[in-house]
Structure 1
Amino acid sequence: MGNVVAREDFEWVYTDQPHAARRTEILRKHPEIKTLMKPDYNLIWIVVLMVFVQLVTFYLVKDLNWKWVLFWSYAFHSCISHSMTLAVHEISHNSAFGNAKPLWNRWFGMFANLPLGFPYSVSFKRYHMDHHRYLGGDGIDVDIPTNFEGWFFCTRFRKLLWIILQPLFYAIRPLSINPKPISRLEIINVLVQALFDVAIYYYFGVKSLLYMLLGSVLGLGVHPISGHFIAEHYMFLKGYETYSYYGPLNMLTFNVGYHNEHHDFPNVPGKHLPVLKEMASEYYDNLPQYKSWIKVLYDFVMDDTISPYSRVKRHLKGEVKED
């Protein structure tokens, strides 16, 4: 089962997150980056196509043998569903219709959410903005594991189990770390998703419904794309709390691997992040970076000095305001 890691707490720091200061410095030197701060209208058509493809697969699997339903759920739907969660991530930053039409983005996020089976797009938006504004903020940033996760998942076997259960922990962390009153849009998100799930069951049957739900869960657990959960902010090198990945899986994930770039400029759509990196290459080329998310997952499990505690945390200054 591996050895118990030495780390017994998070990496507490008393400095501000690095992204705001770097953003100011980069913009001073490269004001042309502001031209990238615009909606990516291609995202709309990509998401519509992805939803259509998923609907087609729901129809195609409805009469398959159960073993093939399970196989294709992991082999195909897990990939496209995880990709869709990152489309929802893009939409949460108003990348589809721009900041001038926030409600359009929220409705479109619910549409992109449909083939995932679980209602989450509206809640994700609320908590993800906290992640950007208060990166590592104690009691605010729900991307940070709980103390229980850090304490319990401390051996190789338990860390592997933790990766498998990532969807569960991402679902319950907001309730335990930073619960918020349920909003009207969240209720609508739940109702719309419930109606869609019932429709899938009614028209296609239980196999299609299970294919959809199971694939979404598997895609967020032990899966090559899930390496981004670990790669983005887990501290493999002391002093660095955000890492970028420049490998081929960015093509399936709306360039979420360009994570330093994304946190520096969250209003630049993923499509333009490679261009941003080229414009300000002197700021990014020498930062720690990854070329394989699979290796990140392997190293996380096998390295006894890394655990869910390997995150930077900071005490917040002043009051945190809800949008």
Structure 2
Amino acid sequence: MGNRVARDDYEWVYTDQPHADRRKEILAKYPEIKSLMSPDPRLKWIVCMMVAVQFLAFYLVKDLDWKWVLFWTYAFGSCVNHSMTLAIHEISHNSAFGNTRALWNRWFAIFANLPIGLPYSASFKRYHLDHHRYLGGDGIDVDIPTEFEGWFFCTRFRKFIWIILQPLFYAVRPLVINPKPISRLEIINLVIQFSFNVGLYYLWGAKPLVYMMAGSLLGMGLHPISGHFIAEHYMFLKGHETYSYYGSLNLLTFNVGYHNEHHDFPSIPGRRLPLVKKIAAEYYDDLPQYTSWVKVLYDFIMDDSLSPYSRVKRKLKGEVKQE
């Protein structure tokens, strides 16, 4: 467990990300894909159902023994809360109400944020759009690990700890890499979430609060679904910076596994991404892909050539526009 990773820097490239050019080429050949670029009418109802399910779970765990609270936190709550974060990812692309009602999407994301416990939906929107526009951009894309992460988490055991602590690093990276002034919506998100958390504690006690908060932290740490954090952009094969996963966990994650397709067409809701792959199959079938997120986590930890440094990074040219 003490073997050190040989890599001591990111994979620096001097080319643009591949997604914009592939998008243009696919649209020229298959213009019917444009018809998929519209809101998903089912998304808002699915999100409301998930919020209602977690509210019911808060009520049901309030009288359980602590051992059962912790069991259901990992077995059920962590899955639902991680799925909810990916619903917020969908909403950040205006997939709930469309681009003409952008503010409706922002407010709906704050509502979807409630059972997660950690106020992040407003901030996620601002930084996630940068991730799409400037994939791997030095000093802009906060999905890229910091220098400290790459330097310190360089053994199998440390990589294991790093995966457990993923929620912490995702929270801290924006403040280190690309801090932005706090927006009005972020303050509103914080106040609403804090008020909800206090109200939940006052109404039903500490157990629902632990179920909610621990479920979010565990679900985004060492958990099968969290394999998508590693699978999406960590460079398992030289020259490839985005990877898709076509396994069954897409059913719980709004098809976030269709990640090449998502970066090629971020305005297409996750429910329709399999159609993109079906229509333009020759563009995706031969790209590197995964069948198991659990295996991705295992391989990342055990392969001594992989570390948080295993990311493609690029210096950006020209003016950078940020949210």
Normalising by the smaller structure, the TM-score range is: over 0.9
Please list, as runs of the form range in 1=range in 2, the aligned pairs for 1:256-271 lying within 5 A after superposition. 256-271=256-271
Partner of 2:313: 313
5 Å-filtered alignment, 1:193-212, equals: 193-212=193-212
Give how far 1:284 is off.
0.2
Cα distance in structure 1, aligned partners of 2:214 and 2:200 = 14
Contact 1:2 1:304 in 2 (8 A): no
Structure 2 counterpart of 1:243 = 243
Tell me which residue corresponds to 1:50. 50
* Separation of aligned partners in 1, 2:256 and 2:211: 26
Which residue in 2 is equivalent to 1:254?
A: 254
Deviation at 1:319, TM superposition (A): 2.1
> What is the CA deviation profile of residues 195-237 of structure 1, one whole-angstrom value per residue up to 9, with x for unaligned ones?
1101110111111111100011000000000000000000000
Query: What residue number does 2:143 align with?
Result: 143
Matched residue type, 2:86: L
Pairing 1:210-225 to 2, within 5 Å after superposition = 210-225=210-225
CA distance in 1, matches of 2:270, 2:200: 31
Task: Tell me how far 1:318 sits from its aligned partner.
Answer: 1.4
Q: CA deviation at 1:320?
A: 1.3
% identical aligned pairs? 76
Equivalences for 1:48-127 in 2 at 5 Å? 48-127=48-127
Q: Deviations over 1:250-280 (max 9, x none)?
A: 0000000000000000000000000110000
Deviation at 1:2, TM superposition (A): 3.2
**C-alpha distance in 2, partners of 1:321/1:22?**
22
Partners of 2:44 and 2:13 lie apart in 1 by 40
2:296 matched residue in structure 1: 296
Given that residues 225 and 293 in structure 1 are in contact (C-alpha distance below 8 angstroms), is that contact kept between their aligned partners in structure 2? yes
Gaps of 5+ in 1: none
In structure 2, the residue corresponding to 1:304 is in which secondary structure?
coil
Map 1:276-287 to 2 at 5 A.
Answer: 276-287=276-287
Separation (CA, whole Å) in 1 of partners of 2:159 and 2:183: 34
Q: Is the 8 A contact 1:40 1:271 kept in 2?
A: yes
Deviations along 1:87-145, one digit per CA (max 9) or x if unpaired, are 00000000000000000000000000000000000100000000000000000000000
Q: What letter is aligned with 2:215?
A: G
Q: Distance in 2 between matches of 1:17 and 1:24?
A: 13
Post-superposition CA distance 1:43-102 (Å, at most 9, x none): 000000000000000000001111111111101000000000000000000000000000
- Asked if structure 2 preserves the Cα contact closer than 8 Å seen for 1:40 and 1:95, the reply is yes
The amino acid across from 1:100 in the alignment is T
Cα distance in 2, alignment partners of residues 200 and 241 from structure 1: 42
Size of the alignment, in residue pairs?
Answer: 323
Q: Tell me the TM-score normalized by structure 2.
A: 0.99
Shift of 1:41: 1.2
Q: Does the CA contact (< 8 Å) of 1:254 and 1:271 recur in 2? A: yes
Residue 93 of structure 1 aligns to which amino acid in structure 2? H
The amino acid of 1:106's aligned partner reads R
Say what the alpha-carbon RMSD is for the aligned residues. 0.5
Deviations 1:162-201 (A, max 9, x none): 0000000000000000000000000000001011101110
Quote how far apart the aligned CAs of 1:32 are.
Answer: 0.4
Q: Aligned with 1:100: secondary structure?
A: helix
Q: Secondary structure at the match of 2:313?
A: strand
Unaligned runs of 5+ in 2: none
Other structure's SS at 2:203 match: helix
Q: TM-score, normalised by structure 1?
A: 0.99
1:101 aligns to what SS in structure 2?
A: helix
- C-alpha distance in 2, partners of 1:322/1:220? 26
